[in-house]
Amino acid sequence: MSSDARAYGDPDTRRRILFATWEAIEEVGADIRLRDVAERARVSRQAVYLHFGDRANLLLALVEFMPETLGFPKLLAHVFAAESGVEMLRRAVVLHSTYNAKIDSVARVLEAAQYQDTALGAAWRDRMTRSRAAHRMIVQRIAEEGRLTDGWTVEDAGDLFYTVTMQSPWRELTCELGWSPKQYARRMTKLLLDSFVTESQA
Amino acid sequence: MSSDARAYGDPDTRRRILFATWEAIEEVGADIRLRDVAERARVSRQAVYLHFGDRANLLLALVEFMPETLGFPKLLAHVFAAESGVEMLRRAVVLHSTYNAKIDSVARVLEAAQYQDTALGAAWRDRMTRSRAAHRMIVQRIAEEGRLTDGWTVEDAGDLFYTVTMQSPWRELTCELGWSPKQYARRMTKLLLDSFVTESQA
DNA sequence: AGCGTCACTTGACATGATGTAAAGCTACCA
DNA sequence: TGGTAGCTTTACATCATGTCAAGTGACGCT
């Protein structure tokens, strides 16, 4: 995935356009026009096409750009630096509670667009696949520590963990139902630990 | 909500158009063109506009039309006819496991469109609000029977129940990860019961 | 100084879907 | 016979996407 031989144009301009797109999506929503994006980036509409080819490709680039900009790798590393599987799970949910908020407006657009553009759908799916793998590793760790409840396999619990902490449920609970990040983290963690983990300390 | 003084035109034609829309969405996806819809319904493109005004309104009508057509009220009644709260929850998850499948293609379109059209968004939200209330009632029943775990309030558990059984997580688990309806029902039920319900029988 | 090239601008244009407007057709009903 | 409801046909305005071609300015190289 993700490696076009060489990107066109000035990297700074490219970044400006990506930031402009991001801003535009946050303000306007899904139906951003590329002329608005261009205006925000203070370039011509055609510059956008020169850099990214088309709308789908622009969003595609944004999918890579956001996590880099938000320092996602570091945040993820902190989750995996935990000393126990249960603590990893806790930290993962906390990460979701804050990180999901930052990418939500863009995520809405991508969720909607993924079925219309093949390449974009693939990129989004790829992102999901990684996330799924990360969640499974956490459950794997819990299992290795002998704390996974008998009824669950690593695979099933991992997939469920991954799925219920996805963007959509998070969005519903926080944006629509008003849960704070802390409430989200506490309650979601409780749900998962209650089912996945055998009691021992907490 | 949902009561325009009187609908235009022949009700049969109206139904034909709605079915055609439904079909078109299932085959083509989100980017259906109204001319395709018209073609399937064997009416002119303008007939669609005469009946529904615009695209958003057509989708709006579809939101009401689908549950009626699929006999949703009866299915819901069966859930609430259960003798215990726990059994209600079980039945609700089973209902999700099959019903979500039937509406999924249309749900994708509506989820995407809800942020673009105000009225459509409101209608979709209304649907969600009802669903949320139903889920809460089930948890309420569990609580009344004294089986709700100490750590949960009816409200929080209800909202979580509602949220994790939403369309999106269901879609991910079944369409993308390949869970069968039975697997979905069993595992989702286990997750919820493990956390919400105090052990007593099963 | 001259030359080319990169990065971008400008303006024009084709495409294609949405939505509106107006006139015509047909069957039924009074 | 006349009217109206329900739909068709044709035409048209709009608007975003995406493409094309020519032009401009800065920069580096010779």
What pLDDT is stored for residue A1 in this prediction? 41
Do residues B160 and A173 lie in contact, with contact meaning Cβ atoms separated by under 8 Å? yes
What mean pLDDT is predicted for residues B88-102?
Answer: 98
What mean pLDDT is predicted for residues A130-157?
Answer: 98
pLDDT surpassing 70 at residue B4 = no
The amino acid present at B1, given as its one-letter code, is: M
Calculate helix-pair angle for B55-69, B72-80, nearest 10 degrees.
Answer: 50
Do residues A50 and A9 lie in contact, with contact meaning Cβ atoms separated by under 8 Å? yes
What pLDDT is stored for residue A30 in this prediction? 86
The amino acid present at B121, given as its one-letter code, is: G
CATH code for the domain of B30: 1.10.10.60
Instruction: Tell me: do B23 and B100 sit in the same domain.
Output: no
Do residues B154 and B139 lie in contact, with contact meaning Cβ atoms separated by under 8 Å? yes
Instruction: Tell me: do A75 and A154 sit in the same domain.
Output: yes
Please give the residue range of the domain that contains residue B128: 68-196
Nucleotide nearest to B49 (CA to C1'): C19
Compare A55 and B113 and report the one with higher pLDDT. A55
Q: Measured between CB atoms, which of A112, A151, A177 is closest to B112? A: A112
Distances (CA, A) of A26 to A19, A40, A70, A104, A105: 11, 13, 15, 9, 6
What mean pLDDT is predicted for residues B52-78?
Answer: 96
What pLDDT is stored for residue B114 in this prediction? 87
Instruction: Tell me: do A95 and A186 sit in the same domain.
Output: yes
Q: Measured between CB atoms, which of B29, B162, B187 is closest to A160? A: B187
Number of domains in chain B: 2
Instruction: Tell me: do A77 and A168 sit in the same domain.
Output: yes
What pLDDT is stored for residue A180 in this prediction? 98
Q: Which of A42, A3, A2 is nearest to A19 (CA)?
A: A42
Q: Sorting pLDDT into bands at 50, 70 and 90, what band is B7?
A: confident
CATH code for the domain of A141: 1.10.357.10
What pLDDT is stored for residue B6 in this prediction? 66
- Through-space separation of residue A139 CA and nucleotide C17 C1' in angstroms: 48
Do residues B147 and B129 lie in contact, with contact meaning Cβ atoms separated by under 8 Å? no
Instruction: Tell me: do A56 and A74 sit in the same domain.
Output: no
Instruction: Tell me: do A40 and A126 sit in the same domain.
Output: no
Nucleotide nearest to A10 (CA to C1'): C7
Instruction: Tell me: do A151 and A58 sit in the same domain.
Output: no
Do residues A114 and A121 lie in contact, with contact meaning Cβ atoms separated by under 8 Å? yes
Q: What nucleotides of chain C have any atom within 7 angstroms of a protein Cβ?
A: 6-11, 16-22
pLDDT in tens, A85-109: 999 999 999 999 999 999 999 999 9
Residue A2 lies in a domain: no
Radius of gyration of the CA atoms of chain A, in A: 19
Instruction: Tell me: do B76 and B171 sit in the same domain.
Output: yes
Flag residues 18-77 of B with CB < 7 Å from strand C: 32-35, 46, 49, 53-56
Across the A/B interface, how many CB contacts are shorter than 8 Å?
A: 89
Instruction: Tell me: do A105 and A30 sit in the same domain.
Output: no
Q: Quick one: tokens of A32?
A: 């951003």
Separation in Å, CA of B169 to nearest CA in chain A: 5
First-residue to last-residue Cα distance in chain B: 41
